[in-house]
Homo-oligomer: A and B are copies of this chain.
Amino acid sequence: MATVAVIGAGAVGSYYGARLAQAGHDVRFLLRRDYDAVAERGLRIESHHGDFALQHPTIARDPVAIGPVDWVLCGLKSTALAEAAALIRPCLTPGTRVLAIMNGLGIEERLAASLGAERVFGGLAFTCINRGEPGVVHHIEYGQIGIAHLRDDPDELDRALALWQDATVEVTRQPSLLRARWEKLCWNVPFNGLTVAAGGVDTEVIVSNPALRAEARALMEEVVAAGNADLAAAGSPERIDGEAVITRMFTLTDVMGPYRPSTLIDYLEGRAIEVDAIFAEPARRAHYLGVPTPRMELLTALLARLDPGTREG
Contacts and interface: CB of A to CB of B under 8 A. Distances in A.
A28 to B, nearest CB: 40
Interface string A203-218: 0010001011011001
Interface residues of A, number: 25
B199 A305 contact: yes
A222 B300 CA distance: 18
B215 A301 contact: yes
Contacts of A302: 194, 197-199, 212, 215, 302
A92 to B, nearest CB: 37
Nearest to A222: B294
Contacts of A297: 214-215, 218, 295
Interface string A191-202: 000100111010
Tell me whether chain A's interface is mostly helix, strand or loop, or mixed: helix
A304 interface: yes
A231 interface: no
Nearest to A304: B211
B215 A305 contact: no
A303 to B, nearest CB: 9
A4 interface: no
A297 to B, nearest CB: 7
A43 interface: no
A211 B197 CA distance: 16
Contacts of A311: 199
B299 A212 contact: no
Nearest to A311: B199
Nearest to A306: B199
Contact of A215 (B199, B209, B298): B298
B299 A211 contact: no
A198 B305 contact: yes
B294 A212 contact: no
Contact of A295 (B197, B201, B294): B294
B199 A301 contact: no
A202 to B, nearest CB: 12
Nearest to A212: B301
A164 to B, nearest CB: 39
A210 B211 CA distance: 28
A301 B214 contact: yes
Which 8 interchain pairs have the tightest Cβ spacing? A211-B301, A294-B294, A198-B305, A215-B301, A199-B306, A295-B298, A294-B295, A212-B301
18 contacts: A197-B197, A197-B302, A198-B302, A198-B305, A199-B302, A199-B305, A201-B305, A205-B305, A209-B301, A211-B300, A212-B301, A212-B302, A215-B302, A218-B294, A294-B294, A295-B297, A298-B298, A298-B299
Given A197-B197, A211-B300, 7 more contacts: A198-B301, A199-B306, A205-B305, A212-B305, A214-B297, A214-B301, A215-B301
